[in-house]
Structure 1
């Protein structure tokens, strides 16, 4: 999703295209979620985990190979085609996370299982931040043909990695373990569900709506930040490789926080308290970015963004697990998917708005992110903690 963001300025120069077009590759993943989400919700209860995951993997692989059109035509605009296919595939994996945790793990393991499933995409994002900056740098701005060659090689490497992963998925993926790990997992799940009825139940559940608001505002921040990181740091003299450091710090610390948060939540089952802590600290640390960004200090900004990631990324798996608890027995794909849907839409809009704000003053973009975190922290206090699945 973020594989082009750290080198957006180089791609813009060597392919003679707008930097907005490069940043839009990330935003396409957010926008494509809308139709892909409903497809995944329809497919998962009917075909099960295995075929939903394989379908997602096939779309990801197809999207990766369609990006080869950039190498063939010499036009970066062709990357949009592959990005749309890959975005559809990624959505299937998002919707399978909580379902996999419910089917394969017991009551005391589900949150950490959801966490481990959710951080797979951030781990991929780390690769997306680091790999291009190792292969491509400011020196490639001087020789456009050499720069195009390196970017073409980078796209080929993406294709190979994705293809190997999907082949492994085809051989390994399975619907359920031989023995159900919990009482809820042993109960038969309806193959078909009433979308309208479940949707009404979701929008009438005030705690679920507050959770969706708390989660969605911070989730949108992460997606928009990944898209505009280059535009945000460039006015202060940061280099391309610095963006890789910032992105990696944000995600690595977030993965650590997600694992610790998952373990503690499984042990103490304090979903609401954990959400309040995470959203509150995210708001404070995002505000501090207003002061660390203009310093042009790579270590200071990396530390600041790392701490933001430490508290914001764990909100993803926590919210997925909490949503299932608040809405049980509504299918996991429905409760998680309908929470992700407005978050993705808002994230795409936020990315476009903050990209324009960065052209005026990057601090305005940080200010927009901070307002979101304040809304998130406030919404967390209006959630009533009902653990319906655990207390059945």
Structure 2
């Protein structure tokens, strides 16, 4: 899921600068934008039709133990609002909602304002700005894969999440102080490093949330994390954009660094209550005992 989303973001960075070049004629510019919107509408329509005609409501076999447990609960006794209220009473998960929103919201702000920052520091480099965005997302896809594989093998949810958060903060600091150093190739490296850790954090946040909220549905916890990211993303984009206009790119990026530092502290305060792991261990123990008795 995270990889497919990042692939879409990568296309979003790469294609628009090609379809909408920087031209002075407003009519020509409007025509390029119109073509881009028509293409977007066409692709979205095809995907909408595929979702309606091809996707099934749910898989025949539950993909996780949480989903299997959820199917055993009678529909009349389950409630989406009850699930949300239950999750919001989970202190560790609430802290994760805040830290996740701060990290991913910062990534959204950087991605949204990337073109403006690159143009301010390197005038006339619109295409390069798109390629830098593509570099961020591709590096993030690699980071997501590596972090996901490591987490699956090590089961060190809090430690890995905290480490990647710290590296995201470090990457943001390096990016902030090297953005306007005249060397565009350096921006590709620092932005790629930033994308590797900030996007690599996405699957960690989702998996850590599932551990903290089991047996609640992963869809509910993921939805709350996404909601937090969207809210912080909107706030950070507006605030950082204003700061960049008034004080420059360095001040705008340091603004995000301050909140990433706050998110790192919040992540360190999360109690590592791995409920899903305990449930898996109990299930495996029960199966082993039953096998021995047979």
Query: TM-score scaled by structure 2?
Result: 0.86
In the alignment, structure 1 residue 136 sits paired with structure 2 residue 20: yes
Which stretch shifts more, 171-180 or 365-374? 171-180
Which residue, 36, 40, 43 being the options, matches 1:161?
Answer: 43
1:358-369 matches, within 5 Å, as 358-360=244-246, 361-369=248-256
Larger radius of gyration: 2
Q: Distance in 2 between matches of 1:245 and 1:181?
A: 37
Aligned pair in 2 of structure 1 residues 157, 354: CA closer, same or farther (>3 Å)? same
Gaps of 5+ in 2: 280-294
Q: Distance in 2 between matches of 1:350 and 1:182?
A: 34
Q: Distance in 2 between matches of 1:350 and 1:217?
A: 9
Q: Distance in 1 between matches of 2:67 and 2:84?
A: 23
Q: Distance in 1 between matches of 2:32 and 2:53?
A: 33
Q: Distance in 1 between matches of 2:216 and 2:64?
A: 17
Q: Distance in 2 between matches of 1:161 and 1:203?
A: 37
Counterpart of 1:120? 4
Tell me how large the CA RMSD over aligned residues is. Answer: 2.0
Counterpart of 2:27? 145
Deviation (angstroms), 1:182: 5.1
CA contact (8 A) 1:126 1:251 kept: yes
Deviations 1:113-165 (A, max 9, x none): xxxx1222221111111111112222x22x22222222211111112222222
1:79-90 matches, within 5 Å, as none
Query: TM-score scaled by structure 1?
Result: 0.65
SS at match of 1:294: coil
Q: Distance in 1 between matches of 2:115 and 2:64?
A: 46
1:113-262 matches, within 5 Å, as 117-138=1-22, 140-141=23-24, 143-181=25-63, 183-187=65-69, 188-190=71-73, 191=75, 193-195=78-80, 197-238=82-123, 239-262=125-148
SS at match of 2:129: helix
